[in-house]
Amino acid sequence: QKEVEQNSGPLSVPEGAIASLNCTYSDRGSQSFFWYRQYSGKSPELIMFIYSNGDKEDGRFTAQLNKASQYVSLLIRDSQPSDSATYLCAVTLSNSGYALNFGKGTSLLVTP
Amino acid sequence: SQTIHQWPATLVQPVGSPLSLECTVEGTSNPNLYWYRQAAGRGLQLLFYSVGIGQISSEVPQNLSASRPQDRQFILSSKKLLLSDSGFYLCAWSPRQSNYGYTFGSGTRLTVV
């Protein structure tokens, strides 16, 4: 069974702080890694993807990947109340037409 | 630009009734298509994926089936719904041979009563 593990939270951070979200995965064949944001009652939306070890920055978001440790993280700088949502980590499934295996998500609450 | 349409938005069905959910994609050709289910308090579960017309792969054995009668149309069906089929059903697409993640439709919230 290929697993993607996330802490369910809730993770509570004050407005303006850095939120750190973590994810581990079991399938060493996974090549691509994604972070989605899902507001309550809505469908997930893609925030970032990362393929190579190291950091990738996009605005207030930074994704970090360590394939040796099978670990992916997402940092959100200057967190805003509008960032309050569930963040889903996803990794590609080997030999499945680029299908993604999702973690259960971490709930983030940014307090004013 | 590409858009994905999914309907209906909400559905309440009795146990034992049939189901048909439809998803269509516009503005692209030969997309990969996916059906996911998100049950209350659970993660996104991959149900089916398709890399072409008539090509359906099932990830979870259950009483659901999927079909792709046209290039940009993906249908999820059931002959007899179970209570456990309740959940948020999401269709998604990605470009063929692309590894940039995919875009979800707005979802169908199904309640089986």
> For residue range B32-63, what is the model confidence (pLDDT) as tens digits?
999 999 998 788 999 999 999 989 988 876 78
Q: What is the mean pLDDT of residues A23-49?
A: 94
- CB contacts of A101 in chain B (<8 Å) are 46
> For residue range A62-88, what is the model confidence (pLDDT) as tens digits?
999 999 999 999 999 999 999 999 999
> For residue range A90-107, what is the model confidence (pLDDT) as tens digits?
998 877 768 899 999 999
Of B42, B100, B105, the CB nearest to A49: B100
Residue of A nearest to B91 (CA): A43
Q: What is the mean pLDDT of residues B78-88?
A: 95
* Per-residue pLDDT at A76: 98
Q: How far apart are CA B113 and CA A44, in angstroms?
A: 26
Q: pLDDT-derived band of residue B6, with 50, 70 and 90 as boundaries?
A: very high
* Per-residue pLDDT at B105: 97
Q: Do A100 and B101 touch (CB under 8 A)?
A: yes
Q: Do A99 and B34 touch (CB under 8 A)?
A: yes
Report the helix count and the strand count for chain B, using DSSP H and E.
0, 11
Q: How far apart are CA B82 and CA A27, in angstroms?
A: 32
Q: How far apart are CA B110 and CA A58, in angstroms?
A: 35
The nearest CA of chain B is from the CA of A42 a distance in Å of 7
* % of chain A beyond a pLDDT of 90: 84
Question: Residue A89: what residue type?
Answer: C
* Per-residue pLDDT at B61: 63
* Per-residue pLDDT at B96: 84
Q: Do A98 and B102 touch (CB under 8 A)?
A: yes
* Per-residue pLDDT at B101: 86
Q: How far apart are CA A5 and CA A102, in angstroms?
A: 9
HSE of A80, CA atoms in CB hemisphere, 13 A? 4
For β-strands A71-76 and A19-25, DSSP reports them as antiparallel
